[in-house]
Amino acid sequence: MKIAVLPGDGIGTEIVAEAVKVLNTLDLKFEMETALVGGAAYDAYGHPLPEATLKLAMDSDAVLFGAVGDWKYDKLDRPLRPEQAILGLRKNMGLFANFRPAICYEQLVGASSLKPELIAGLDILIIRELTGDIYFGQPRGRRVATDGHFPGAEEAFDTMRYSKPEIERIAHVAFQAARKRNKRLTSVDKANVLETFQLWKDVVTEVGQQYPDVALDHMYVDNAAMQLVKEPKRFDVVVTGNMFGDILSDEASMLTGSIGMLPSASLNTKNQGLYEPSHGSAPDIAGKGIANPLATILSAAMMLRFSLNQEEAAQRIEAAVQKVLAQGLRTGDIYSEGTTKVSTREMGDAVVKALG
Ligand code: NAI
Ligand code: MG
């Protein structure tokens, strides 16, 4: 089992160190190799995704990723910015399926901005298509408008597009995930306005005929955004395109209290995966030893489950995380009165101890 460890920037190095510590506690043999990525790689080699880092990632069974980015790189040309590293990894590894579970842990119900009864027991899974849609569609660019409301004015444009096979493969992933859970799938689109998402809806419906045991429903994205805060527990598995998924998964994540709790997995057709917390490099708290490492530790659990075929070890880590929360240990982002505030390292140590 070969794991590429790419801590990246900001809190990335602090939280990945804790996840590696947790992995090393397990009775499993891993070959872990660390490399620079993002701003750290730019500083050392002049590029956010050096050839050697990409090769290491491609040659591994899984990538454990921290986060990339810092305000100090904002002035760089887009291709050199740290964020290009994660986009480059997704594209080169073909990581088309992004899983973001939003689980509200019993002990953190009070940390949500929604009423406890709305989110207690919440356990939803958002599956976002990650390599298509308007984020990658060509053509795109800037030009002088020749038509539209203001001919002669500067304009910018992007292209929303999906091919049928792209939709089919993410639909299969979603139906299979729903099958392993409560057999309910909501496909989110904007078929009433967008041709791309009319095709999306048609193809998901067609693929659904192969999964008669899964109840499929369709929802427009604006309604989905509303329902997520009105009645989040009506959802189980949600599948949607790249842009809608970006927005809805951030919205769903905040229901559960803190972005510091939310893991993610991005998979390709070979079950190779990249595992990272849903949050970024948090430059505002980097280097202070206060970041919550649980999202990264839970991402490592997803890595064991999806790419390394170690379901039991994944469950052990998830149980250990529940246990430290039950012990009342909290990093600053999830702290509330009556609990014990701990540092990044202390939280990692507590998970290691809970595993033992
Ligand atoms: P962010 O997620 O880094 O931070 C948002 C807020 O949440 C901050 O107040 C931060 O302190 C807090 N936060 C995030 N993770 C936390 C944790 N584990 N524990 C406690 N608090 C935590 O998002 P922001 O500030 O918009 O972006 C910062 C940098 O990260 C930017 O350069 C951005 O491009 C990059 N970024 C990278 C991502 C990636 O590597 N996949 C994803 C999102 C952003
Ligand atoms: Mg986002």
In the DSSP assignment, the letter for residue 308 is: S
Mean pLDDT for 63-87 is 95
Chain position carrying tokens 């689109």 = 189
Kindly report which listed range (6-20, 207-221, 257-271) carries the lowest average pLDDT score.
257-271
Contact present, 300 and 275 (Cβ < 8 Å): yes
Domain segments of the chain as ranges:
1-96+262-356, 123-255
Find out whether the peptide bond into 151 is cis, omega within 30 degrees of 0: no
Nearest residue to 293 via CA among 353, 236, 238, 334? 334
Supply 133's token pair. 């849609």
Q: Which fold has domain 123-255?
A: Isopropylmalate Dehydrogenase (3.40.718)
Checking if the pLDDT of 161 tops 80, the result is yes
Q: If you search the block for the tokens 């409301």, which residue do you land on? A: 149
pLDDT value, residue 207: 98
Confidence of residue 208 (pLDDT cuts 50, 70, 90): very high
Indicate whether 262 pLDDT > 80: yes
Give Dmax over CA atoms of the chain in angstroms. Answer: 68
Establish whether domains 1-96+262-356 and 123-255 are of one fold.
Answer: yes
**pLDDT score for 64:** 98
165: preceding bond cis by omega (within 30 degrees): no
Report the separation in Å between the CA atom of 138 and the middle of ligand 1, taken as the mean of its atom positions.
28
Q: How far is the CA of 300 from the centre of ligand 2 (A)?
A: 20
pLDDT at 192 over 80: yes
CB atoms within 10 A of CB 154: 9
CA 351 to chain centre: 22
pLDDT digits (tens, 9 = 90+) for 293-349: 999 999 999 999 999 999 999 999 999 999 999 999 999 999 988 999 999 999 999
pLDDT digits (tens, 9 = 90+) for 90-120: 999 999 999 999 999 888 888 788 899 999 9
Q: What is the pLDDT of residue 253?
A: 83
Is 289 annotated as contributing to ligand binding? Answer: yes
Residue 96 has a pLDDT of: 97
**What mean pLDDT value characterizes the chain?**
95
Residue 109 has a pLDDT of: 86
Ligand 1, residue 333: give the atom nearest the CA.
20
- Find the residues whose C-beta lies inside 6 A of ligand 1: 11, 15, 67-70, 83, 86, 259-260, 276, 279-285, 291-292, 295, 333
ipTM score of complex: 0.97
CA 98, chain centre distance (Å): 6
The CATH number of the structural domain formed by 1-96+262-356 is 3.40.718.10
